């Protein structure tokens, strides 16, 4: 399968429109060795002409238009995008669905809880039902294999099989109190395993660090795209742009004794790539000691346009 990173930054992108942190300011002034990054978005293509989006970023329209792989190929309307797999209901994971509202039939895969948040709590997403046929929302059970695509009816025939791994995080704070209490916590944020033949990838742009279950899947994967949001637990607080710690908003930081880098033994065999990088993160500066530390530990840092053949 081909894996393409369309966006590699966390919410807000890099630079973020209203952010004057050292990284964003230096990028605008051309005084940092780094690349601008759009908000996290990955596309997986099991075969030529068939693509699946992993989440739907706020930058999705621009990301699609700048990616040849996603060009329409036959008139009057067409897209190689067959479906979208949602791993959470976070704004940065779902708002891009509204960019796909131009009457295009789509399959949307998520846990039942994520579907309920989008359709019961946020009626605007019903705009996707105007296509003919309307969008098909496919409920996916946690920890159960499911296949992507409309043609294949069984897991064996399927080009790609997937599995949602619960990560132990919370629902976004915009979800109404009533609905939040009705939803099982295990369906809030998932890591996504995608396998084709003997090849496997693991995608988790938000790792809260509260469960270990995902590590076995990361260990057996040829490619891991994992949470590179924050370097430090108190990064937002020390930058003066937030009041919560990294873990409080669902991201284990990279540094510290119990950070993601210290847990790297889970994926020695495959490629390990950090994605969903917040604009405050010092690893964005290619000349920083933190960037060097990450690379010395065997990690790669995702950038927009990065591709993998798995
Ligand atoms: Zn910034």
Tens digits of residue pLDDT in 23-39:
999 999 999 999 999 99
Distance 85 CA to ligand 1 centre (A): 28
Distance in Å from the first CA to the final CA of the chain:
5
Indicate yes or no: pTM above 0.85: yes
Instruction: Indicate the average pLDDT of the chain.
Output: 93
Q: What is the pLDDT of residues 287-305, one digit of tens each?
A: 999 999 999 999 999 999 9
Distance 111 CA to ligand 1 centre (A): 32
- In the predicted model, is pLDDT for residue 223 greater than 70? yes
pLDDT of residue 152: 47
- In the predicted model, is pLDDT for residue 264 greater than 80? no
* Helix spans in 120-267 (H): 177-182, 214-219, 235-238
Q: Region 158-176: what's the mean pLDDT?
A: 90
- Gap between the Cα atoms of 260 and 107, Å rounded: 33
Which residue is it, tokens 């607080």? 237
DSSP 149: S
* Percent of residues, the chain, with pLDDT higher than 70: 95
Distance 25 CA to ligand 1 centre (A): 7
- In the predicted model, is pLDDT for residue 154 greater than 60? no
Check whether the bond before 133 is cis (ω within 30° of 0): yes
Q: SS3 breakdown of the chain: % helix, strand, coil, rounded to 5? A: 25, 25, 50
Distance 71 CA to ligand 1 centre (A): 32
Distance 24 CA to ligand 1 centre (A): 4
Distance 154 CA to ligand 1 centre (A): 46
pLDDT of residue 150: 53
Distance 174 CA to ligand 1 centre (A): 23
Q: What is the pLDDT of residues 224-259, one digit of tens each?
A: 999 999 999 999 999 888 899 999 999 999 998 889
pLDDT of residue 30: 98
Check whether the bond before 279 is cis (ω within 30° of 0): no
Helices (H) and strands (E) in the chain, counts: 8, 14
Distance 245 CA to ligand 1 centre (A): 16
Q: Region 47-73: what's the mean pLDDT?
A: 95
DSSP 64: H
- Gap between the Cα atoms of 280 and 231, Å rounded: 9
pLDDT of residue 153: 47
- 188 by Cβ neighbours in 10 Å (0-12 / 13-18 / 19+) ranks as buried
- In the predicted model, is pLDDT for residue 4 greater than 90? yes
pLDDT of residue 149: 73
Distance 60 CA to ligand 1 centre (A): 21
Distance 263 CA to ligand 1 centre (A): 27
Least confident of 51-55, 118-122, 201-205: 118-122
Distance 64 CA to ligand 1 centre (A): 24
Alpha carbon distances (Å) from 133 to 79, 109, 125, 129: 15, 16, 16, 8
Distance 13 CA to ligand 1 centre (A): 8
Query: Contacts by 242-249 with C-beta closer than 8 Å and gap 24+?
Result: 247/208, 247/209
Residue bearing the bigger pLDDT, 269 or 205: 205
pLDDT of residue 131: 87
Q: Region 203-214: what's the mean pLDDT?
A: 90
pLDDT of residue 186: 94
Distance 16 CA to ligand 1 centre (A): 6
pLDDT of residue 209: 82
Q: What is the pLDDT of residues 73-129, one digit of tens each?
A: 999 999 999 999 999 999 999 999 999 988 888 999 999 999 999 999 899 999 998
Contact by Cβ (8 Å): 56, 95: yes
């Amino acid at each position: 399968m081909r894996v393409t990173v369309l966006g590699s930054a966390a919410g807000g992108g890099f630079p973020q429109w209203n952010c004057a942190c050292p990284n964003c300011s230096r990028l605008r002034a051309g005084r940092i060795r780094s690349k601008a990054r759009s908000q996290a978005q990955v596309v997986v293509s099991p075969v030529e002409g068939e693509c699946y989006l992993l989440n739907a970023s706020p930058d999705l329209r621009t990301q699609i238009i700048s990616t040849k792989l996603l060009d329409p190929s036959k008139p009057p309307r067409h897209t190689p995008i067959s479906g979208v797999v949602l791993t959470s209901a976070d704004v940065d994971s779902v708002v891009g669905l509204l960019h796909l509202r131009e009457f295009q039939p789509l399959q949307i895969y998520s846990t039942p809880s994520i579907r309920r948040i989008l359709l019961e709590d946020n009626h605007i997403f019903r705009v996707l039902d105007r296509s003919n046929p309307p969008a098909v929302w496919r409920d996916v059970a946690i920890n159960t294999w499911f296949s992507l695509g409309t043609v294949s009816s069984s897991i064996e025939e399927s080009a790609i099989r997937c599995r949602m791994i619960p990560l132990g995080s919370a629902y976004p704070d915009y979800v109404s109190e009533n609905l939040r209490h009705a939803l099982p916590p295990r369906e809030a944020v998932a890591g996504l395993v995608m396998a084709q033949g003997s090849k496997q990838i693991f995608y988790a742009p938000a790792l809260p660090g509260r469960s270990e279950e995902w590590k076995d899947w990361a260990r057996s994967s040829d490619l891991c795209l994992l949470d590179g949001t924050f370097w430090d637990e108190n990064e937002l607080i020390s930058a003066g742009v937030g009041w919560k710690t990294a873990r409080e908003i669902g991201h284990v930081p990279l540094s510290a004794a119990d950070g993601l880098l210290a847990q790297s033994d889970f994926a020695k065999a495959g490629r390990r790539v950090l994605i969903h990088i917040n604009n405050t993160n010092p690893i964005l500066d290619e000349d920083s000691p933190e960037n060097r530390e990450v690379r010395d530990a065997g990690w790669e840092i995702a950038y927009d346009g990065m591709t993998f053949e798995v």
